[in-house]
Amino acid sequence: MTTVDVVFRYGQVPGEPEMRALDNLREVYGIRRIRFNEKDRTVRVEYDATRLNESTVAALLRRSGLDITEKLQLV
């Protein structure tokens, strides 16, 4: 297993339906952790890179209703 983190900035603050959908995202095989930073409007997803890739993670977040605006570089 190769664990990778990716961080996305989001625009509109997710509401209750989006948060429920994002909570269900934790059940996707390969997603290990999802953390929000409300102040910076970012979401960090830890995932298994042998199962998923960045574009798949972004698509899953968008499908859950999260308003992804950009991918941020990790330093």
Q: Which residues of 10-47 are buried (b: 16+ CB within 10 A; e: fewer)?
A: beeebeeebeebbeebeeeeebbebebeeeeeebebeb
Q: Where residue 74 falls among pLDDT bands split at 50, 70, 90?
A: confident
Question: CA-CA distance, 37 to 41, in Å (whole number)?
Answer: 6
Alpha-carbon distance 49 to 23, whole Å? 20
The CATH number of domain 3-72 is 3.30.70.3270: no
Neighbours of 65 (CB within 10 A): 15
What's this model's pTM, rounded to 2 decimal places?
A: 0.92
State which H helix or E strand residue 67 sits in: none
pLDDT digits (tens, 9 = 90+) for 6-65: 999 999 999 999 999 999 998 999 999 999 999 999 999 999 999 999 999 999 999 999
